[in-house]
Chain A
Amino acid sequence: QKEVEQNSGPLSVPEGAIASLNCTYSDRGSQSFFWYRQYSGKSPELIMFIYSNGDKEDGRFTAQLNKASQYVSLLIRDSQPSDSATYLCAVNSGAGSYQLTFGKGTKLSVIP
């Protein structure tokens, strides 16, 4: 069974600091990786996706992928109170797979 593991948190960081969110996955054949943000009472919204090993940057967000270690992370620079939310990691198992496997999410709290 494919599994995606995240630390449930809560992860508390001071405003302006770097928040680091981590995710591991079990299926070595996984090919695409997604980070979603979910505010309380709202639906998940895409932050970014990554396909290749290494870093991908989008504004204050950087996704990092290491397929050998089956590890994907999300860094949030200059964290703001508005970044306080639950962050979901999701993994697609590759060509022909229509499904994403979601982690249970990490709750981030940015303290002013």
Chain B
Amino acid sequence: NAGVTQTPKFQVLKTGQSMTLQCAQDMNHNSMYWYRQDPGMGLRLIYYSASEGTTDKGEVPNGYNVSRLNKREFSLRLESAAPSQTSVYFCASKDSTDTQYFGPGTRLTVL
């Protein structure tokens, strides 16, 4: 039982490049989330998917897109990376107690 997994763990991009962050969970949870965490800013919600087939914007959605591929997988895409998107990205899934379980994170640097 791996819980929530994320790939890659680290990534360096140049401004304007695109990439997709992958997330998968094996806990049969309906809801999945993407956060970014910056020093002094705490965890900020980018997008979430309440259930398979639905996605909604969070607090900081600009510059990102998401895809809920199936119940297990939820990806985050940066179409044209900017230095302001340098951050640590966490994926999470939620159980019936509203507890969210986090993946190990992706550390992204945009030069």
Contacts and interface: CB of A to CB of B under 8 A. Distances in A.
B102 interface: yes
B94 to A, nearest CB: 7
Chain B, interface size: which category? 20 to 34
A32 B104 CA distance: 24
- SS class, residues of chain A in contact with chain B: strand
B84 interface: no
A102 B50 contact: no
A100 B104 contact: no
A98 B48 contact: yes
Contacts of A104: 40-42
Interface of A: 32, 34, 42-46, 49, 88, 90, 92, 98-100, 102-105
B98 A43 contact: no
A69 to B, nearest CB: 22
B99 A98 contact: no
26 contacts: A32-B97, A32-B98, A34-B98, A34-B100, A42-B104, A43-B90, A43-B102, A44-B102, A46-B99, A46-B100, A49-B98, A49-B99, A88-B42, A92-B98, A98-B48, A98-B56, A98-B94, A99-B45, A99-B48, A99-B58, A100-B98, A100-B100, A102-B42, A102-B43, A103-B42, A104-B42
